[in-house]
Amino acid sequence: MFALLKKTAIAAALVSGTAIAAFAANPMVGGAEMYPDKNIVENAMNSADHTTLVAAVKAAGLVETLQGDGPFTVFAPTNEAFAALPDGTVDTLLMPENKDALAKILTCHVVAADAMSSAIEKMIADDGGEHDVPTVGGCVLKAKEMNGTITLTDENGGVATVTIADVEQSNGVIHVIDKVLLPAS
């Protein structure tokens, strides 16, 4: 009986032209559910893998911005990505006197668009294998794709890999990455 009800609900949704978000789940991030009806900050705060990123967003004064309407695509470095920076870098960046430098780094992870991985892959293919991604922070990232994996190269040649793609948010999308992307020095 349940299967019949489910099929009927799906058919009704398809006929009415609406999507069934309840049947499509976001990937888990940092051991936490990611809810498409919550914004980027709300979801990031629940991820055990993004506590450093959340602290940095707060220290840089970007919470209100990333809770805004968007749309935003955020390439979200994990705690391990921040830990891989030279010793003392994160602590130094979190100091109030370094707020502007921290904001610059963080906004180089944000694009003013809602770009799912399929759209990024199409842009890469359309551009012959590499697509320039201009960020809110003024950085230009180079996106490439190989065997279904997207990588981003920052202005210093550092390469981050998207490890979890397409985490839908109410105001955009998060793609988890394994390296902090840095603006040109």
Tell me, what's the pLDDT at 24?
A: 55
Helix/strand/coil for 133: strand
What are the structure tokens assigned to 38, written together?
């919550």
183 domain-assigned = no
Confidence of residue 3 (pLDDT cuts 50, 70, 90): very low
Tell me, what's the pLDDT at 45?
A: 93
148 domain-assigned = yes
Domain enclosing residue 66, as ranges: 2-177
State which amino acid sits at residue 174.
I
71 preceded by a cis bond (ω within 30 of 0): yes
41 domain-assigned = yes
In this predicted model, what pLDDT tens digit does every residue of 63-101 receive, in sequence order? 999 999 999 999 999 999 999 999 999 999 999 999 999
Mean pLDDT on 14-18: 39
29 domain-assigned = yes
Q: What is the C-alpha separation between 41 and 58, in angstroms, rounded?
A: 10
52 domain-assigned = yes
184 domain-assigned = no
Other C-beta atoms within 10 Å of 33: how many? 13
Number of domains in the chain: 1
Q: Are 179 and 160 in contact (CB under 8 A)?
A: yes
Q: What is the CA radius of gyration of the chain?
A: 18
For position 163, which CATH number holds?
Answer: 2.30.180.10
182 domain-assigned = no
107 domain-assigned = yes
What are the structure tokens assigned to 166, written together?
């397409």
Residue 165 CA to chain centroid, in angstroms? Answer: 8
Q: Are 74 and 174 in contact (CB under 8 A)?
A: yes
Mean pLDDT on 128-144: 97
In this predicted model, what pLDDT tens digit does every residue of 48-68 receive, in sequence order? 999 999 999 999 999 999 999
